[in-house]
Amino acid sequence: MPVPRPPKPDPRQLLPRDAYVGQDWFDREQTELFARAWLFAGLVTDVPAPGDYLSVMAGREPLVIVRQADGRLAAFLNICRHRGVVLLEGRGNVAAGISCFYHRWHYNLDGSLRGVPQAGQFPGVVADKARFGLRAASVGEFNGMIFVNADPAPAETLGQWLGRVPDDWGPWRPAELFELPASAIEVAANWKLFIENHVDGLHLWHLHARSVQGLDHDRQYWVARGRHWMFYEPESVAGSIPERRTIRLPAIPGVDALRYGSSVYMLFPNIGIAAGVTFLAIFVVTPLAPDRSRVSFRTFVKPIVVQDFIDDPGLAESLGASAGQLSLGSAAAGDAPFADRLEAAARAGDFVAEDKLAAEAVQRALGSRRFAVGPLASDYEAAITFFQRNLQDFIGDWSG
Ligand code: FES
Ligand SMILES: [Fe+2]
């Protein structure tokens, strides 16, 4: 039987259906994009002391960032030079050096090989230890945030990669803020659908009609900063957000009235940032499979000090009432019918849950051979094309 021909997509939808469902595309992104891009790994405050480490995946490249004795950061391929196990998991401290659990090869913090047990078994190694250090990767910092690149000599430095992003960043300094408990959700959708939704300014009126209020979507604008996207929209009524907000956290120092709206960024390829008067949230969308992703959130607020309770006598009460409002995305969980989950997300004001439901609904539609993206909004969805063009720079026009 002939396969039905899909309708012609909007020419500004640059990626084919296969980009969202194909294993070949997924594999290519892992090696051509994620193993070459600067990726968010954590904050400098995650690894304050010598020997503190942070392990992270760059596509399929396991990397580890290690705080050196002199305070600098170094990044390595997190693979033992003996039989190749992944050395370190998660976060921790290896002040005494990195010792492989398998046969106890031992590395200094700078990645050089310190020694191997039963040295007589490895005459070539002992004679030429300098050749068996951990393979280098690249690490950089911006505003207290650590970025890592699997390539020891990336085509662009972190400074080149970020370009003018630092000029437009605003007053948020995550490493100086207080971190709320981290959370993560799994999304049954390709990672690009979550990012494309993140840079879509059109759905704010519709999908988030009830969950996102008090912002003037008509006055939204975005700018391209290199491959990155920076968005801002003001409050609908100037000065209303601090009064209206349900979680009455203290304002972050330096966030002036102009920033009382919503500042939202996307650092290519998979980092989302949302910032307001009281918070900064960073999320990373990690591809797990063509149709499955993990979204990990870290949220930062001003450290609350005694003065804040003096300034706002209702603060203690509102903090108590806010418990449970911070695990974004959870309102969409469970086996309830789709419409009920959508309603629960709107009622909870859980716009992340709404985004998850939308991305998953597109992914289900992508199963159809007749799937095609229709006309995109001229302005409010233009950033989707922008994102896809940047992706093509890494993946090419390759169509599987
Ligand atoms: S694999 Fe690491 S010491 Fe053998
Ligand atoms: Fe959204």
Using one digit for the tens of pLDDT, what is the confidence trace for 227-270? 999 999 988 876 665 555 555 677 888 776 556 788 999 999 99
Question: Whose Cα sits closest to atom 4 in ligand 1?
Answer: 103
CB 82 less than 6 A from any atom of ligand 1: yes
From 100, 122, 125, 132, the mutation candidate for ligand 1 (largest count of ligand atoms within 8 A of CB) is 100
Q: Provide the pLDDT confidence category of residue 400 given band limits of 50, 70 and 90.
A: very low
Q: CA triplet 78, 43, 263: central angle to 5 degrees?
A: 130
Ligand 2 centroid–CA 358 distance in Å is 9
Measured in Å, how far apart are the chain's first and last C-alpha atoms?
Answer: 22
Q: Is residue 327 scored above 90 in pLDDT?
A: no
3-state secondary structure the chain: CCCCCCCCCCCCCCCCCHHHHCHHHHHHHHHHHHCCCCEEEEEHHHCCCCCEEEEEEECCEEEEEEECCCCCEEEEECECCCCCCECCCCEEECCCCEECCCCCCEECCCCCEEECCCHHHCHHHHHCHHHHCCCEEEEEEECCEEEEECCCCCCCCHHHHHCCHHHHCCCCCHHHCEECCCEEEEECCCHHHHHHHHCCCCHHHHCCCCCCCCECHHHCEEEEECCEEEEEECECCCCCHHHHCCCCCCCCCCCCHHHCCEEEEEECCCEEEEECCCEEEEEEEEEEECCEEEEEEEEEECCCCHHHHHHCCCHHHHHHHHCCCCCCCHHHCCCCCHHHHHHHHHHHCCHHHHHHHHHHHHHHHCCCCCCCCCCCCCCCCHHHHHHHHHHHHHHCCCCC
Atom of ligand 1 nearest to the CA of 105: 3
Pick the more confident residue, 203 or 250: 203
Output the pLDDT for position 397: 64
Q: Is residue 326 scored above 70 in pLDDT?
A: no
pTM of the full structure: 0.92
Q: Please, are residues 201 and 185 in contact by the beta-carbon 8 Å criterion?
A: no
CB 134 less than 6 A from any atom of ligand 1: no
Output the pLDDT for position 126: 92
* Percent of the chain as helix, strand, coil, to the nearest 5: 30, 25, 45
Output the pLDDT for position 278: 84
d(C-alpha 25, C-alpha 105), whole Å: 37
The residues placing their C-beta within 5 Å of ligand 2, an ion, are 355
Output the pLDDT for position 260: 75
Using one digit for the tens of pLDDT, what is the confidence trace for 8-46? 767 899 999 999 999 999 999 999 999 999 999 999 999
Output the pLDDT for position 308: 78
Ligand 1 centroid–CA 40 distance in Å is 28
Question: Whose Cα sits closest to atom 3 in ligand 1?
Answer: 103
CB 121 less than 6 A from any atom of ligand 1: no
Structure tokens at 77: 């391929």
Q: Are strands 73-77 and 91-93 parallel, antiparallel or unpaired?
A: unpaired
CB 353 less than 6 A from any atom of ligand 1: no
Q: Provide the pLDDT confidence category of residue 304 given band limits of 50, 70 and 90.
A: confident
Q: Which of 82, 81, 72, 37 is nearest to 57 (CA)?
A: 37
Output the pLDDT for position 199: 98
The ligand that comes nearest to the alpha carbon of residue 272 is 2
Q: Is the dihedral of CA 151, 155, 157, 159 positive or negative?
A: negative
Q: Please, are residues 139 and 159 in contact by the beta-carbon 8 Å criterion?
A: no
Structure tokens at 334: 């469970």
d(C-alpha 231, C-alpha 274), whole Å: 9
Using one digit for the tens of pLDDT, what is the confidence trace for 122-141? 999 999 999 999 999 999 99
3-state class (DSSP) for residue 43: strand
H or E segment and range at residue 273: strand 271-275
From 80, 107, 113, 118, the mutation candidate for ligand 1 (largest count of ligand atoms within 8 A of CB) is 80
Q: Is residue 1 scored above 60 in pLDDT?
A: no
User: Which amino acid type is present at position 333?
Assistant: A
CB 88 less than 6 A from any atom of ligand 1: no
Structure tokens at 65: 């960032």
Atom of ligand 1 nearest to the CA of 87: 2
d(C-alpha 247, C-alpha 113), whole Å: 51
Chain mean pLDDT for the chain: 91
CB 83 less than 6 A from any atom of ligand 1: yes
d(C-alpha 191, C-alpha 157), whole Å: 25
Q: What percent of the chain has pLDDT over 70?
A: 91
> What's the alpha-carbon Rg for the chain, to the nearest Å?
23
Q: Are strands 145-149 and 39-43 parallel, antiparallel or unpaired?
A: antiparallel
Q: Is residue 314 scored above 80 in pLDDT?
A: no
Q: What percent of the chain has pLDDT over 90?
A: 75
176-180 average pLDDT score = 91
The ligand that comes nearest to the alpha carbon of residue 357 is 2
Using one digit for the tens of pLDDT, what is the confidence trace for 374-387? 999 999 999 999 99
Using one digit for the tens of pLDDT, what is the confidence trace for 66-116? 999 999 999 999 999 999 999 999 999 999 999 999 999 999 999 999 999
Q: CA triplet 183, 354, 279: central angle to 5 degrees?
A: 50
